[in-house]
Amino acid sequence: IVESLQRIGQHRAAYEIWRKVQAEPVADANSFLSNGGFEQAIDLGSNIPFLTWQVFSPADVTVGLDPQVFSAGSLSLRLRFDTKENIALILAAQTVTVQPRTAYRLRCMVKTEALQSLSTPFIAIQDAADDKRLSVASPSISTGTAEWTEYKTDFVTPAATEAVTVRLMRMPCNEPPCPLTGRAWFDDFQLTQK
């Protein structure tokens, strides 16, 4: 039932049914996201529909939790890239319910090491039912090596938006080849009302 409701864009109804049937993950304090600091284990390929990071490990990308490099807490999400292909990548995503016509801010911390590409990852926020309704993105992550840097994106939900999906992704370059190499760490994701 939950998947059927999601397919037709009824995310609030899907969420209400899902949370009655399953012990739901809890949103972090001061955030609508859950596990924004990656302090709990992540399940590669998880299909839990709300409040859980769905983390993907495409070919030539190594994904894991790092107990030695973090901005806050004791872990971060580490991605090691050795991608030779010019492809789109969705690396992690989490869907949360939101209020319509409401201003939000998404922020996270990012650290890089020898990150090189003409198209680096970025964080996208999209209406979970229709990305034509809402689709905003952070700036692409800087190339090279950088200490922890805050990335933030402000947005206002349209009247029909019931849920948003936060995605860590990379788009292909306009002209191949477009390799992506190096490492990046992500930590302390927060989604708050402004």
Q: pLDDT tens for residues 2-15?
A: 677 777 777 777 77
Alpha-carbon span 25 to 22, nearest angstrom = 9
Count of Cβ atoms closer than 10 Å to residue 178 Cβ: 18
Q: Rounded mean pLDDT of 27-41?
A: 94
Q: Which of these, 110, 83, 116, lies nearest to 182 by C-alpha position?
A: 116
**pLDDT the model gives residue 14:** 72
Q: Rounded mean pLDDT of 141-146?
A: 97
Domains and CATH numbers, the chain: 2-193 (2.60.120.260)
Which residues 6+ apart lie within 8 Å of 31 measured at CB? 189, 190, 191, 192
- Tens of pLDDT, residues 41-88: 888 877 778 888 999 988 899 999 999 999 999 999 999 999 998 999
**pLDDT the model gives residue 24:** 66
Residue 139 has pLDDT above 80, yes or no: yes
Residue 158 has pLDDT above 80, yes or no: yes
- Helix (H) or strand (E) run with residue 38 in it: none
**pLDDT the model gives residue 105:** 98
Alpha-carbon span 175 to 187, nearest angstrom = 31
Count of Cβ atoms closer than 10 Å to residue 84 Cβ: 13
Residue 138 has pLDDT above 90, yes or no: yes
Q: How far is CA 39 from CA 57, 144, 167, in A?
A: 19, 26, 18
